[in-house]
Amino acid sequence: MPKQIILAAHFPGVNNTTVWSDPRAGSQIEFDSFEYLAKTAERGKFDFFFLAEGLRLREQRGLIHDLDVVGRPDTLTVLTALAAVTTHLGLAGTLNATYHEPYELARQLATLDHLSGGRAAWNVVTSPGAFFGENFRRGGFLDHADRYVRAGEFIETARKLWDTDGGEFAIRNSQFDIRGRFGVPRSPQGHPVILQAGDSDGGRELAAKHSDAIFSRHHQLDDARQFYRNIKDRLPAYGRTEDSLKIIPGVSYVLGDSDADAQEKAHHIRRQQVSPQTAILLLEQLWNTDLSGYDAEGPLPDIDPVLDEDDTIIKGRAGMYPDRLATAAEWRARAEAKNLSIRDLIIEVTGRQNFIGTASRIAEQLNEYVQTDACDGFILVSHLTPSGLDDFVDQVVPLLQERGVFRTEYSGTTLRGHLGLA
Amino acid sequence: MTLHLGVALSGDSFAADDWIRQVREADEAGLDFVTFDDTFGRHGPDAVQVAARVAPLTRHIGLIPVATTTHTEPFHLSTALATLDWVSRGRAGWQVRVSGDPAEAALLGRRAPLQVDALIAEASDAIEVVRRLWDSWEDDAIISDVATGRYIDREKLHYIDFAGEHFSVKGPSIVPRPPQGQPVVAALAHGPQVWDALDADVFFVTPADADDAARKVRTILPEKKIFADIRVGGHIPTDAATFNGTTLQLADLIQNWWSVSGLDGFRLRVSDISDVSDLVTELRRRGLFQTSRHRTLRDRLGLPVAVNRYQEAGRA
Ligand SMILES: Cc1cc2nc3c(=O)[nH]c(=O)nc-3n(C[C@H](O)[C@H](O)[C@H](O)COP(=O)(O)O)c2cc1C
């Protein structure tokens, strides 16, 4: 039997992938939007619904970022409400290990698992210290290495709490010293599904040791295959089998009636995603300095990027450019060769759509990725709230089902069951 | 004028259906609100999540979970309650609770318990932070202006810059201002230590009799909504007056207290919602209780429209 594809629906996030300027774009905050997308995903027999999280509004040039969608609901609260309007769909939420406490969060995740009949998942993130910290008691004292120590012990502690079956515990490690009665009996999944989304060595090791799935950003075929091997090779050291950790990149797609039609749509969407103002802002994220004086329809700056990683121009987002000078040189060469404006270049080099074509081409490519071990499935990130997955569910899912690589009915009720995890 | 009526649910069930049945019944009976009890360390689910779980399945009733300010992050409280308001379309409230129990402190492991005065002062700060965060987005902050490429008008988002003894919070919220602007804040109050200190909209008080109720109403600020807690059934003494008797006798007692005290209404502590179905019918028959047609909990309780403090400051 061929590998079965995992599919998840990412609620459109607070970045420029999400197109708010389209007349069809719906509310980013009203419950109707969340309900609509979750029901669409469940109609398509998806494995789970996915929410990202950021504990402070993004800033650029010291000002709240105003060009992208801003604002979203609290993760646990909206997921628990979605349990009321869905029956099988997994409910995955991103929650930060630095700004929560194990007793409280383990209790909330177990509550979600109970109230959803076994559909809870936690995407463990550890992101930016001091910037988020200004909203919390804890403040912002954890550096990168310590964040993963805390995250690892947090997960171990949560698992111990879930194993108490509601009873007594006493846990002491380098991060936590807690005791008492947990008060939540074993939930339907026992342990909610754990996802991880860090990409550094520390992040990968954490995933290999503790998580059931990785939300990855590796989506180019070769890169994805390398990442897949890199992660799966880490598993034996922890006594784990390869199929106990699923690798699921976030990807986007554009569907058309013909390949040419899809290309044309993709180009239109890219222009919506990268307005002139957004082009300058995205360029600043690499250049790490104020470029507001530049014309988006004109050439790239001839000054070099500013190399100060402690004071980056954008706050509230994980570092994206490990080698600023090299990337800048690459972008300049490309712009010169093709005579591209800043906006044209940004459209080319940032967040392009991964899968573009007819439904059958997309189904074929997705399947190739999974069958050749570039990944185990996909978190689909659409650009339109809340109707962005309608065409995928109506047109691509049936083709995957015909190929026998995606379920036609849910066979179980828990998310662990859907994912084939023990 | 008719009285307001709510029930306090304190169940420990982890089965969603148990909660759905009870809150639906309360919704259909036209009650103004239900409160969901909670403490750290109890056997039972997280109350904010229980309220969120029933929100999409009910239409009118106010949903007021208990959430503790001791040991928790005011930022998370604020966003969770704002989200409850979004998923219930304007029916969210919050019953503030503090924890002085060393056993609860050990569960969280963050710090030793504080004295009661300090706990209440911290709760007061937490309410301030939560309320500022709710106001930190003006209602019309989302502009979706294609011409300038801007999704929001950032002049309408506000840092709250709260600095207190136990925490400081920068803001703004990550959640747009909820439908009610300010969800309803409530607290159980046995004395002035609480009702003079906390910026709540609603106080649940525990009078021993009608005169005591009248005295309490006279000492609490007139703009507050005051509900008397009455426990229906049970024998172990608690903080609230316990009633054991027939439905008609309970209706008499409520009628009597209400007519002499100036209370806004009653919160009945029940072990199951079915304990009060006949009572609601009887109070309606007497013309004492009537289902509100208002859609938000603030409107139902007769609270004024919540003016945004930052919007006001900007205009001044
Ligand atoms: C695909 C992906 C999605 C992520 N989503 C979030 C998110 O929603 N919220 C967040 O705070 N961090 C998010 N992160 C950040 C990671 O948790 C992590 O902090 C970051 O990648 C830095 O850790 P690293 O150095 O191990 O990569 C995401 C990372 C990746 C790769």
Structure tokens at B81: 């309650």
Q: State pLDDT tens for residues A233-268.
A: 999 999 999 999 999 999 999 999 999 999 999 999
- In Å, how far from its chain's centre is CA A417? 21
d(CA A229, CA B211): 76
Mean pLDDT, all residues of chain A: 94
Which of A269-273, A284-288, B108-112, B203-207 is predicted with the least confidence, judged by mean pLDDT?
B108-112
Q: What pLDDT score does A198 carry?
A: 83
Residues of chain A found within 8 Å of residue B109, distances taken between Cβ atoms: 101, 103, 176-179
- CA B118 to each of CA A54, B125, B127, B132, B193: distance values in angstroms, whole numbers, following the listed order: 31, 11, 14, 21, 11
CA of B95 to the centre of ligand 1 (A): 34
In this structure, are strands B168-169 and B162-163 parallel, antiparallel, or unpaired?
Answer: antiparallel
- CA A216 to each of CA A197, A220, A380, B126: distance values in angstroms, whole numbers, following the listed order: 6, 11, 12, 37
How many alpha carbons lie under 13 Å from residue A11 in its C-beta half-sphere? Answer: 32
In this structure, are strands A177-181 and A168-172 parallel, antiparallel, or unpaired?
Answer: antiparallel
Task: Answer yes or no: is pLDDT of A396 > 60.
Answer: yes
- Name the residue of A56, A199, A210, A231 whose CB sits within 8 Å of the most ligand 1 atoms, as the mutation to test its pocket: A199
Please say whether the beta carbons of A116 and A73 come within 8 A.
no
Please say whether the beta carbons of B159 and A77 come within 8 A.
no
Residue of B nearest to A106 (CA): B46
In this structure, are strands A253-255 and A355-357 parallel, antiparallel, or unpaired?
Answer: parallel
| A62 vs A102 pLDDT, higher one | A102
Give the count of domains, chain B.
1
Task: Answer yes or no: is pLDDT of B19 > 70.
Answer: yes
Q: What pLDDT score does B156 carry?
A: 97
DSSP string, B108-122: HTSSPPPPHHHHHHH
Task: Answer yes or no: is pLDDT of A311 > 90.
Answer: no
Residue A30, phi-psi category: left (phi > 0), alpha (psi -120 to 50), beta (remainder): beta
Please tell me what DSSP assigns to residue B55: G
Please tell me what DSSP assigns to residue B174: S
Mean pLDDT, all residues of chain B: 96
* Closest ligand 1 atom, residue A202 Cα: 26
Please tell me what DSSP assigns to residue B3: B
| A124 vs A140 pLDDT, higher one | A124
Q: What pLDDT score does A131 carry?
A: 87
Q: What pLDDT score does B113 carry?
A: 81
Please say whether the beta carbons of B4 and B301 come within 8 A.
yes
Binding annotation of A for FMN: 94, 144, 148, 200
> What integer is the mean pLDDT of B166-179?
97
DSSP string, B18-40: HHHHHHHHHHHTT-SEEEE---T
Please tell me what DSSP assigns to residue B178: P
Q: Which residues of A96-109 are buried (b: 16+ CB within 10 A; e: fewer)?
A: bbbbbbbbbbbbbb
Structure tokens at B241: 């007056």
Q: State pLDDT tens for residues B74-92.
A: 999 999 999 999 999 999 9
Cross-chain Cβ contact A80/B52 below 8 Å: yes
ipTM over 0.95: yes
Task: Answer yes or no: is pLDDT of A317 > 80.
Answer: no
Q: What pLDDT score does A313 carry?
A: 79
> What integer is the mean pLDDT of A287-297?
94
The pLDDT confidence band at residue A350, using thresholds 50, 70 and 90, is confident
d(CA A331, CA A337): 10
d(CA B154, CA B165): 29
> What integer is the mean pLDDT of B172-181?
98
Print the SS3 string covering chain A. Answer: CCCCCEEEEECCCCCCCCCCCCCCCCCCCCHHHHHHHHHHHHHCCCCEEEECCCCCCCEECCEECCCCCCCCCCHHHHHHHHCCCCCCCEEEEEEECCCCCHHHHHHHHHHHHHHCCCCEEEEEECCCHHHHHCCCCCCCCCCHHHHHHHHHHHHHHHHHHHHCCCCEEEEECCCCEEEEECCCCCCCCCCCEEEECCCCHHHHHHHHHHCCEEEECCCCHHHHHHHHHHHHCCCHHHCCCHHHCEEEEEECEEECCCHHHHHHHHHHHHHHHCCHHHHHHHHHHHHCCCCCCCCCCCCCCCCCCCCCCCCCCEECCCCCCCCHHHHHHHHHHHHHHHCCCHHHHHHHHCCCCCEEECHHHHHHHHHHHHHCCCCCEEEEECCCCCCCCHHHHHHHHHHHHHCCCCCCCCCCCCHHHHHCCC
B87 → closest Cβ in A78, A104, A108: A78
| B188 strand-pairing partners | B204
Q: Where in chain A is the domain with CATH 3.20.20.30?
A: 6-255+353-419
Single-letter residue type at B182? Q
Q: Which residues of B103-118 are buried (b: 16+ CB within 10 A; e: fewer)?
A: ebbbbbbbeebbeeee
- In Å, how far from its chain's centre is CA B304? 16
Task: Answer yes or no: is pLDDT of A319 > 80.
Answer: no
Single-letter residue type at B2? T
Q: State pLDDT tens for residues B233-246.
A: 988 889 999 999 99
> What integer is the mean pLDDT of A339-364?
93
Q: What pLDDT score does B190 carry?
A: 96
Which of A126-135, A296-305, B81-90 is predicted with the least confidence, judged by mean pLDDT?
A126-135
Q: Nearest to residue B240, comparing CAs of B250, B251, B229, B232?
A: B229
Residue whose structure tokens are 């929410």: A51
What are the phi and psi torsion angles at B104 (to 5°)? Answer: -70, -40
In this structure, are strands B150-152 and B142-145 parallel, antiparallel, or unpaired?
Answer: antiparallel
Structure tokens at A94: 């991103």
Q: What pLDDT score does A29 carry?
A: 98
Q: Is A52 a pocket residue for ligand 1 (Cβ < 6 Å)?
A: yes
Q: Is A249 a pocket residue for ligand 1 (Cβ < 6 Å)?
A: no
Q: Is B77 helix (H, G, I), strand (E, B) or coil?
A: helix
d(CA B132, CA B136): 6
> Between vectors from CA B299 to CA B296 and to CA B305, what angle results, nearest 5°?
105
Residue of A nearest to B15 (CA): A115
> What integer is the mean pLDDT of A391-401?
98
A176 → closest Cβ in B82, B109, B153: B109
The pLDDT confidence band at residue B316, using thresholds 50, 70 and 90, is low
Q: What pLDDT score does A157 carry?
A: 98
Please say whether the beta carbons of A373 and A228 come within 8 A.
yes
B53 → closest Cβ in A67, A83, A103: A83
The pLDDT confidence band at residue A324, using thresholds 50, 70 and 90, is very high
CATH at B35: 3.20.20.30
Q: Is A128 a pocket residue for ligand 1 (Cβ < 6 Å)?
A: no
Cross-chain Cβ contact B152/A70 below 8 Å: yes
d(CA A256, CA A264): 9
**What residue numbers bound the domain in which B302 lies?**
4-315
Q: What pLDDT score does A129 carry?
A: 67
The pLDDT confidence band at residue B314, using thresholds 50, 70 and 90, is low
> What integer is the mean pLDDT of A166-190?
97
Residue with the smallest CA separation from ligand 1 atom 29 is A197
Q: What pLDDT score does A61 carry?
A: 77
The pLDDT confidence band at residue A351, using thresholds 50, 70 and 90, is confident
d(CA B202, CA B62): 13
Residues of chain A found within 8 Å of residue B110, distances taken between Cβ atoms: 101
Peptide bond into A299 cis (omega under 30): no
Residues of chain A found within 8 Å of residue B50, distances taken between Cβ atoms: 111, 115
Q: What pLDDT score does B277 carry?
A: 92
> Counting Cβ atoms within 10 Å, is residue A213 exposed (0-12), middle (13-18) or buried (19+)?
buried
Q: In what order do the strands lie in the sheet with A59-60?
A: A63-64, A59-60, A314-315
Task: Answer yes or no: is pLDDT of A139 > 90.
Answer: no
Q: What pLDDT score does A138 carry?
A: 76
What are the phi and psi torsion angles at A250 (to 5°)? Answer: -80, 130
Residues of chain B found within 8 Å of residue A13, distances taken between Cβ atoms: none
Q: What pLDDT score does A49 carry?
A: 98
**What is the CATH number assigned to the segment(s) A6-255+353-419?**
3.20.20.30
Cα-Cα-Cα-Cα dihedral of A58, A73, A135, A210, to 10°? -90
What is the percent of chain A with per-residue pLDDT over 70, rounded to a whole number? 98
Single-letter residue type at B296? T
Q: How many CB atoms lie within 10 A of CB B238?
A: 11
The pLDDT confidence band at residue B217, using thresholds 50, 70 and 90, is very high
> What integer is the mean pLDDT of B132-155?
96
Residue of B nearest to A271 (CA): B149
Residue of B nearest to A277 (CA): B149
> What integer is the mean pLDDT of A22-47?
98
Q: What pLDDT score does A320 carry?
A: 77
Task: Answer yes or no: is pLDDT of A141 > 70.
Answer: no
Q: Nearest to residue A46, comparing CAs of A410, A412, A420?
A: A410
Q: Is A127 a pocket residue for ligand 1 (Cβ < 6 Å)?
A: yes
The pLDDT confidence band at residue A318, using thresholds 50, 70 and 90, is low
d(CA B272, CA B293): 25
Residue with the smallest CA separation from ligand 1 atom 30 is A197
- CA A255 to each of CA A19, A347, A362, A389, B106: distance values in angstroms, whole numbers, following the listed order: 16, 19, 8, 10, 54
- CA B163 to each of CA A419, B125, B182: distance values in angstroms, whole numbers, following the listed order: 45, 9, 21
Peptide bond into B172 cis (omega under 30): yes
